A = this chain, B = another copy of it.
Amino acid sequence: MEYARFVNGDRMKDFFRLMSRTQFLELLEGFEPLDSEVVPLTQARGRVLAQDILAPEDLPPFSRSTMDGFAVRAKATFGASESEPSLFKVVGEVPMGSSGQDIEVGPLEAAKIWTGGALPRGADSVVMVEFTHPIDEETIEVFKPVAPGENVIAKGEDYREGDVVLEGGRVLGPSDLGALAGLGIVEVPVVKRPKVAVLSTGDELVPPDATPRPGEIRDINSTTLHLLIEECGGIPVPMGIIPDDFDSLKRACEEALREGADVVLLSGGSSVGRRDYTLDVFRGLKGCDVLAHGVSIRPGKPTILAKQGNRALFGLPGHVASAIVVFLLFVRPLVRYMSGRDLSTGLNEVRVRCGQEFPSVSGREDFVRVRLEDGPEGLSDMKWAYPVWGKSGLISPLVKAHGLLKIPRDSEGLERGEEATCLLFSYTYQ
């Protein structure tokens, strides 16, 4: 009976509908960005703005000095020079934080003002203190003319009431959020971060903090996927290690969906038999369609994608290198897309030269773990990529690699010295 499933699993391989990476990504376009939620400014960095933000008022709300000096009527300074300074009567000082409206500056009058102070009535400009000289407590000489508006930030110069400050879809950075703070907008509507449930399966797996008995091994994928999810802006929902049987897996998927997971990652289906389980489990979920079963990439071929409403369920290969490649190529773009970004990996891509021959097979895209090094003498226009070979069940080659070299679908391999594209892992290469 076990044997039947075993061999049946083998035959199933013939039914793989192998699609290209591009076709797989097109399937992901069938999902929708998530709804929005309102968060405080200090939690909005890197989030995607859900709608345009208009200025509710002018910024600054009044005309302000950009210098320490004297607020004057510019016209009265015209013609002033080192040799023929103009005399001004100092009629007061604008205290910081006061409206300036209780001081009026007449034609040959000046009011002391500090950087950021509100321009008093009658004044239209500020003479820098460097271009003045005190005669007595009530009189100054001005050596240099100013133009109207000089050394002043006018009311509404940053934003006028009703201006579009930020457009929906923008990824929010520190300055954007500073602008909102200045306008008194302290919460902001952003696209929700997708919750990504991580289910590991495999009866040989134990958690990282357990001591494995002979034949058992610690779960690596849960930790790696957790951090990969966070890295691209998702919220990891760890579901632990699930017993490797249909009922347990189905129950765990249902629980993940009930808990609001937008994406479910079922990791551990490297075995042909297990892949069948994953397929059966996904097919057994209410309203769930299997969209893809197999992609023509290496590693990562046995990837499964299913869809329940706007929820995505991935059957990831169990081998850690394959799981990471599939995560970067498909899950990461989907998490970004659901968070309001574009459907791309968002990883840095660099052009490199092949440090040696990279064999491949036409009809599939290869993603080879590579180290980047300086090129040979005289050939240092770009970094050179050297493969970090190793079985896809090993984690150490990923630790040693800087990124993934892409061998195109129509290529039978790359020659030494040939140009290629490398997707950089985020943190390891710097």
Contacts and interface: CB of A to CB of B under 8 A. Distances in A.
Interface of A: 2-3, 6-7, 9-10, 13, 41-42, 45-46, 59-62, 64, 66, 68, 93-101, 112, 114-118, 129-130, 134, 137, 153, 157-159, 165-166, 170-186, 202-205, 208-228, 230-231, 236, 244, 270-274, 318-320, 324, 346, 391-396, 398-399, 425-428, 430
Contact of A114 (B59, B165, B271, B324): B271
Contact of A116 (B115, B202, B226): B202
A9 B132 CA distance: 13
Given A61-B217, A181-B223, A182-B217, 4 more contacts: A2-B112, A97-B216, A98-B214, A174-B324
Given A45-B230, A157-B394, A324-B175, A64 B217 contact: yes
Contact of A214 (B99, B230, B231): B99
Given A116-B318, A216-B97, A223 B153 contact: no
Contacts of A273: 68, 114
Contacts of A430: 171, 346
A71 B416 CA distance: 37
Nearest to A210: B184
Contact of A396 (B179, B213, B324): B179
Contact of A391 (B66, B214, B427): B66
A215 B100 contact: yes
Nearest to A216: B97
A291 B93 CA distance: 34
A174 B96 contact: no
A398 B173 CA distance: 10
B178 A220 contact: yes
Given A115-B271, A203-B95, A204-B116, A427 B218 contact: no
Contact of A270 (B13, B115, B219, B227): B115
Nearest to A45: B227
B175 A399 contact: yes
A219 B178 CA distance: 9
Contact of A182 (B60, B202, B220): B220
A166 to B, nearest CB: 7
A396 B137 contact: no
